[in-house]
Amino acid sequence: MDQIGVPEEVRAVGGFTASEIWLQVQADVFGLPITLTAPDQPTAAGAAIVGWAALTNTSPALWTKHITVDATIQPNAEDSRHYQEVYEQFSSMRERLL
């Protein structure tokens, strides 16, 4: 974590992004905003960016301006606290069982 830092958001792609409920649950569990990006094929776009950066010896960060945000789902503070409490209970029970 020292090298990459603490995340400020989670980028979500794939079929599950069609479910608003699932995205909200994830935002609440992570306690972070879930960001949906615009490319229809984000995996292919990411691979193309990394490939081009490797071929041209440039930073993939130069291409981030081409990535646009479609939507951001914010975590619900009360639900996030609940998930954190449940996780702490789970961790405590797990430690006692091991």
Does any domain span residue 3? no
> Is 73 part of any domain?
yes
The answer to whether position 79 is within a domain reads: yes
Cβ atoms within 10 Å of 38's Cβ, excluding its own: 12
Q: Which pLDDT tens digit goes with each residue over 60-95?
A: 888 777 778 889 999 999 999 999 999 999 999 999
More confidently predicted of 24 and 65: 24
Residue in 10, 13, 1 with CA at minimum distance from that of residue 43: 13
Q: Give the pLDDT score at 97.
A: 93
> Which domain, by its residues, includes 31?
10-97
Residue 34 predicted with pLDDT over 80: yes
Averaged pLDDT score across all residues of the chain = 89
Number of domains present in the structure of the chain: 1
User: Does residue 76 lie in a domain region?
Assistant: yes
Specify the CATH number for the domain of residue 44: 3.30.420.40
Stated pTM of the model: 0.73
